[in-house]
Structure 1
Amino acid sequence: MNRTDRLLAIVLELQGRGRARADDLARQLEVSKRTIYRDVLALNEAGVPIVSTPGQGYTLMPGYFLPPLHFSVDEAVMLLLGSDVMTQAFDPGLAGAAGRAARKISAVLGEDVQREVQFLRDHLRLVERDPGGDETRGKLRTLRQATLERRTVEFRYYKPRGGGEARRVQPHGLFRLNTAWLLAAFDPDRAALRTFRLDRMEGLRLLSEPFERQPEFKLERDESREGRGLIVRALFAPEVAREVRHHPSYYVTRAQETLDGLLVTLQVRSPEEVLPWLLSWGSACRVLEPASLQARLRDVAQELLRRYP
């Protein structure tokens, strides 16, 4: 038995039996105990987590090996493309984990599957837009730690209009919507769950203050709509309908084609949240309701006329 086969045999033996002493391994593989010691050291240096307990022998760290998996080409491509996106979208800690996972998946694929998968990866790319750069990744790292350790954070939060406001919240989850990262958190001052865009946070700090998670919180619920009781309906001219679908507002809940154009429904807390997006479409957008938003748009139009007589 050559050395490579012997190293694999040691790993398989530990995986199958759970525990084995150097004497037993040496006898089974017909080598000396000194050889077993050297082989275990080599496996540890290669990243195989073998634990030695005096008087009891060797064991593999729990959870190191999964049951054998067999991936089709499509399954392997989806896993590896997903890991490519994760390496672009997350902070270095999780990005590194995604890269290592991809290498492990690639390593267990058959030679023919590896060739097909690599060909598809070379000709199919998912490019992640990363407008926040290092600043966003730093916030993600801090908020991920706060969520896992159940620690309160504080930051200054800037709404689309107006100055910043100091907030102290309890992070419950992170999610991505279009190109924006958002934090779902419980706000003790308001006794309610709220969502916060990471690109509107400044001075984010992780505090030592612990908290208990809200039992009713579930990230699969649309936490982003909670507290958004104002319904906005706007009609977009047919010539911009395609672009509106390609560049939707964060607050859009429905878009429906009609004979007159694209009818868009949004849910907001106040008109100011959606005002910049609506204005960006100029005369191609007509707000149908509420009346308060129509009045706000008239005020903006009059201010523009005063500036550009």
Structure 2
Amino acid sequence: MADADAVRRQVNLTFALLGSDAPRSAEWIGANVDGYEGRSPDALHVVIKRDVDELRAMWVPIHFTDGQVRLNKEHYTLEPVELTEAEASVIGLAVDLAQGANLGALARSGWTKLAASGATRTFDGPPIAAVSNDITRLDPETLRRLLLGVRQRARLSFTYQRGPGAEAQRRTIDPWGIVPLNNRAYLVGWDVDRAAERVFRVSRIENVAKIAADDFHPPTGDLQEIVEKQLRGAVVDAQITVANGAGDELAARGTRDGNVIRLEGAERDWLVRTVASLAADVRAIEPADVRADVIALLKRAAGEEEA
């Protein structure tokens, strides 16, 4: 394997040749390409030949003849690749997965198409691999088949475990994409058996298989919005009174008047969990049923800590 200095020279040499329409002489390389300077003519030729041989072994179409180095750009440059927004998002996901040890090879395979297209990931949140155990523990073959189904617009069948202790179900889906939300990743698509859009947590998917079908259902709307709508629980209007100007998380989704924060159409589960996390600074909670849920959650948490 080439050492770090050799790799640096070879990369510099490749880019120098890509930026030139004509071959470059060994003397020019010695004077202008970082890593080749300070060598005698004979030593320079030896290093250039060795680097060219190693680059050719990596399928770079580079040649060193008669003291001239040239790169066949026609055989080196990738053809332009056009990606849809959904495909760019899928590849963005694969790149994010590079941080997961067991998925590095799959993630790196997305770089070629990504680089050729100039596309960027459309996720607004942080890289999934950095925050979601769903992805970093997902079986690479499962992910590969899901991504392939999305890209090929192919109907898929898979086993889905709704939750701990629940009986596994076989589901048939026209997959539209994989969407990150709240540190988790979800497959969104059309549930053929239920004739409706559905969302599935990817970490609970197994045994993915492709099914022949001629009637693939296209997406019915923005995938992120579909996932948020499907996972959104009951909503509630509430008024939370806090102390010391606390509750920025609540105020960000509502309005603040001093220490009183009002929320309209807030997701109930999120509201209860957020208010509970601010318990030391909360002075009043309306309506009463939300207050009861917060108290119940705090009691359960205290019981778990005591245990």
TM-score by length of 2: 0.48
TM-score in terms of structure 1 length: 0.48
